[in-house]
Amino acid sequence: MYRQEAIEIIRKAITAEGILASAQQRDNYTRVWARDSMMTGYAGILINDEEILAGLEKSILTLAKHQAENGQIPSNVVNDRASYGTHVGRTDATTWWIVVTCEYLKIYQKAELKQRLEDKIFKALSCLKTWEYNQRGLVYSPLGGNWADEYVTSGYTLYDNVLRYWALKNAAELYQSNELQDQAVYIRNLIQENFYKNDLSAPKYHETAYSKTEFKPYFWASLNANGYDVRFDLAGNALAILLDFELNFEAFSEFLEDLHTQFGHWMLPVFYPVIYPGDYDWKLLENNYSYSFKNEPHHFHNGGSWPIFLGWLCLGLKRKGWAEIPGKILSQYEQLMQEKGFHFREYYSSDKLLPLGTDQLCFSASGYLMMTLEK
């Protein structure tokens, strides 16, 4: 229904430097953001759109040009100036850049570019290795260190470690590296063994915390020295499903159906449960923002519904043969755009389904394109 509109919104956001965050050129959205441009570029790969792919290549090169001395990829670039994060650095800028750069080079056989970027890709992988800190395999992200930069998750997060696995896997395939392949397998096993209750006999990262943590029908959000954060991280779980991590899909589907029943719609929250004033985690939320406080209950990261990550969830579920829930999500999203206008807004509040944040966002247009793919 809105497929061509989604494509045109992305095309309008393409500049000489790469893909901007929004077709509406306002505020800090007029930058080449690593995670936004890479996810949008991935959508371009999925639909094989030449114009979006050209924008992706520009984004790859702009971000590579500003790679830091330690191998870190900038969070964003504007007017030839790079930012690596405000309060803290962004772990997922580096991982998303590796993941999608390798995917692009692998699929489109860009031999010259592959050779040109090899050192930068390996340098970025080396940077991720240093972020393990304890040399045990999992990357450690500070509070505010990824896309949910005003939220409460930190430590060994599911989302960042699944992305790091994907980065290693793609780089290993692209450069035919047995060493990287071994690292990818090792980290995949660590994630499977430590973020989901199972009977695997392998030693746990934090034996005490693991033994005290109850089963959930999804992968837990994060692990820290003080134990597990067992909330539902939709983005991390969506990527884990896409990358074939093992999960009881019947139990997971029942959980999503329960969320639908509780909220009364299929615009599922990106994190659950919602945090309210007086809750233990509220103090971690209330001062963690740059411009204005957005994380009221059911808003933004705090239970807001983000089409980009619903798109990743739909893509992952369909590839596993579970098409029913993705169909319901797509139908709900199209109904909202039809009823409320403001196509491809950043997110919806999960209580009143208000379209909020920036309009004509490439993130949301990309999520919609993922929802519409057969598999």
Question: Residue for token digits 């047995």?
Answer: 178
Output the pLDDT for position 200: 79
Q: pTM (2 decimals)?
A: 0.97
pLDDT above 90 covers a percentage of the chain that reads: 93
Confidence bin at 64 (pLDDT 50/70/90):
very high
Q: What tokens appear for 169 in the block?
A: 């896997």
For residue 118, the model assigns a pLDDT of 98
- Write down the pLDDT at residue 374: 85
**Residue 199, pLDDT score:** 82
Q: What is the mean pLDDT of residues 62-91?
A: 96
In angstroms, the CA 145 to CA 143 distance is: 5
DSSP state of 370: H
Q: Distance from first CA to last CA of the chain, Å, rounded?
A: 18
Q: Can you spell out the DSSP letters for 86-117?
A: SSS--HHHHHHHHHHHHHHHHHHT-HHHHHHH
pLDDT tens digits along 38-48: 999 999 999 99
Please identify which residue in the block is written with the tokens 């994630």: 191
**pLDDT for 208:** 96
Strand partners, 272: 232
C-beta neighbour count of 112 within 10 angstroms: 7
Instruction: Point out which residues pair with 19 in neighbouring strands.
Output: 14
> 303-343: per-residue pLDDT in tens?
999 999 999 999 999 999 999 999 999 999 999 999 998 88
Confidence tier at 27 by pLDDT (50, 70, 90):
low
SS3 355: strand
pLDDT of res. 363: 97
pLDDT in tens, 178-201: 999 999 999 999 999 999 998 878
Strands 355-356, 347-348: pairing kind = antiparallel
pLDDT at 342: 80
- Work out the average pLDDT over 189-217: 94
Beta strand 32-33 with 347-348 is unpaired
Q: What is the tens place of the pLDDT at every residue in 108-167?
A: 999 999 999 999 999 999 999 999 999 999 999 999 999 999 999 999 999 999 999 999
Q: How many other C-beta atoms lie within 10 A of the C-beta of residue 321?
A: 8
Q: Locate 217 and state its tokens.
A: 């029908």
| Closest listed residue to residue 44, CA positions, set 21, 93, 11 | 11
- pLDDT of residue 360 exceeding 90, the answer is yes
